[in-house]
């Protein structure tokens, strides 16, 4: 049995409700489901996407440090 976890702060792209999305892994694929409208998707949780954005911003900051403007 896959454990289904709610994604804190996530907003459903279909019904725009907050904290209704939950995700779980099934056969190494991450499934996302909205308990409000029944919307379902197959993708990484929003928390992972946010982590990627943070790492990208960090890289840009590092580049700025190593390439200062004259
Ligand atoms: Zn929904």
Measured between alpha carbons, how far is 49 from 13 in angstroms, rounded to an integer? 15
pLDDT band with cut points at 50, 70 and 90 for residue 63: low
pLDDT band at 62 (very low <50, low <70, confident <90, very high): low
The rounded Å distance from CA 66 to ligand 1 centre is 44
**Residue-wise pLDDT tens digits, 10-55:** 999 999 999 999 999 888 888 999 999 999 998 755 555 555 555 5
Provide φ and ψ at 59, rounded to 5°.
-60, -40
Total domains in the fold of the chain:
1
Report pLDDT for 2.
Answer: 76
Residue 24 belongs to domain with CATH number: 2.20.25
Rounded to the nearest angstrom, the distance between the alpha carbon of 3 and the centre of ligand 1 is 20
**CA 33 – ligand 1 centroid, Å:** 8
Task: State which residues form the domain around 59.
Answer: 5-66
Q: Is the pLDDT score of 57 beyond 60?
A: no
């Amino acid at each position: 049995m896959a454990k289904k976890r709610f994604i804190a702060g996530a907003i459903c792209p279909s019904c725009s409700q907050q904290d209704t999305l939950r995700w779980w892994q099934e056969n190494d694929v991450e499934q996302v489901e909205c308990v409000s409208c029944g919307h379902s998707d197959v993708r990484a949780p929003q928390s992972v996407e946010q982590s990627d954005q943070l790492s990208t911003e960090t890289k840009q900051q590092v580049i700025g440090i190593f390439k200062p403007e004259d």
